[in-house]
Amino acid sequence: MAEYLLRCAKCGEGRTEDANYVACPACGGFLEVEFARVPANPIDPRFASIFKYHPVMPYDPTVEDIQAHEDLEETPVVPARRLSDKLGIELFFKDETVMPTGTWKDREGYVTIHRLLKNKVADLVVFSSGNTATSLARSASIVKGPRLHFVIPSASRNRIQALKKFYHDDYVKVHFFDGSNDECSAQAAKMAKELGYQVEGGFANYARREGLKLLGLEILLGWKQRVDWYVQPIAGGIGVYSFYKAHKDLGVADQCPKMLGVQADICAPMVNAWKDGSAVLEERHIPQEVVPSEFVRVLRTRRPVDSYPVLKTLMDRVGGRFEAVSDRQIHDALRLLYLDEHYRETYKRSGKLVGLEPATALAGIVKGVGEGYIRPGEKVLLNVSGAAKEGDIRLEWISDLL
């Protein structure tokens, strides 16, 4: 069984997990799962799915009957040969669209639900723009608890209704709210206080960070190829932290590649702060409003004040950076995703399209190549973080490529 403590990054206090914490109870600081020891081979071949990584995860199938709760298989790494030739780099897709709900958030769904049940949390209020909610709802419906109360922007109503099969009425209540991501997050906190329930916590929720860490473990322990860059779209940036944490937990933090976190330029607070050289997110970095865009459905978080300082430190450590891209660049990158046959074949086989968020990240790669900080011949791993949801993409944007 993996031995671990919850260690506060601010005051240094370590404690056993005797409750569902989203902050250090002593000082309110950022909690991180700290493992006492990691075996030389942290894969347990007796178990399948995500459970084979239990020596470096906060769950243990050797003492808990939990294998029936999840069956996530490793997602493929696909060489993008034609796009690599076009860009002059060696590009690989980590194809997370094959996950059950079509998004890599399924990785965090089970880990979060498991922690809630283990710590006897009966009700939880969660803000989500849609992907996290669907993944959590799926896991809660499989495990049969706890009860989740989602606050979701009204703009995501159609996306959620198209995924209703993952929402079991006994375990999920959805509250649509007319407001931005940040306003919905504030509404979730208000609702939790009024109802006497816990609020999920976002970036502060170590269970979500540990869940997304599974992608990094697959790359390090399964694929086993070194890359120069890891690239993903970001709103709150949980995944960037988690990718680094996989390296740290395996004792190879010094081998973590440069990381590129990409935002849409209509909502790029982290990019603004990073270009300003700021260690914290200040008011001048935060967009006063997020203008409507049919190319930006999810990446609309204006105030990631808790996550930016942590991510800025990591980016400085690995030589990474943040980047912003325009609607036009996202559109063009979406088309580039179909240059290689992999996603054309995926569409023919399943009708599934790649989401706007991976297109945003790819637009960052294209920009990085153009500006020269992604150098010719470098090996780049793109987290294709999810498939498009209902109404996200107009088929005429890409129909000539399919």
Question: Are residues 386 and 357 in contact, defined by beta-carbon separation less than 8 angstroms?
Answer: yes
* Structure tokens, 347: 């569409």
How does the average pLDDT of the chain come out, rounded?
94
Task: Tell me, letter by letter, the H, E, C secondary structure of 238-291.
Answer: HHHHHHHHHHHHCCCHHHCCEEEEEEECCCCHHHHHHHCCCCCCCHHHCCCCCC
Distance CA 135, CA 59 (A): 18
Say what the pLDDT of residue 1 is. Answer: 59
Question: One fold for both 77-104+206-401 and 105-204?
Answer: yes
Is 179 or 272 the better-scoring residue by pLDDT? Answer: 272
Taking phi over 0 as left and psi of -120 to 50 as alpha, with beta for the rest, 391 belongs to left
Domain ranges of the chain: 77-104+206-401, 105-204
Distance CA 126, CA 373 (A): 38
Percent of the chain with pLDDT over 90: 85
What is the Cα gyration radius of the chain?
A: 20
pLDDT tens, residue by residue, 333-385: 999 999 999 999 999 999 999 999 999 999 999 999 999 999 999 999 999 99
pLDDT tens, residue by residue, 21-36: 989 999 999 999 999 9
Q: Which CATH number fits domain 105-204: 3.40.50.300, 3.40.50.1100, 2.60.40.1940, 3.40.190.80?
A: 3.40.50.1100
pLDDT exceeds cutoff 80 at 249: yes
pTM of the model: 0.96
pLDDT tens, residue by residue, 136-193: 999 999 989 899 999 999 888 887 887 888 899 999 999 999 988 889 999 999 999 9
Instruction: Quickly name the fold that domain 77-104+206-401 has.
Output: Rossmann fold (3.40.50)
pLDDT tens, residue by residue, 48-85: 889 999 999 999 998 888 888 888 889 999 999 999 99
pLDDT exceeds cutoff 90 at 228: yes
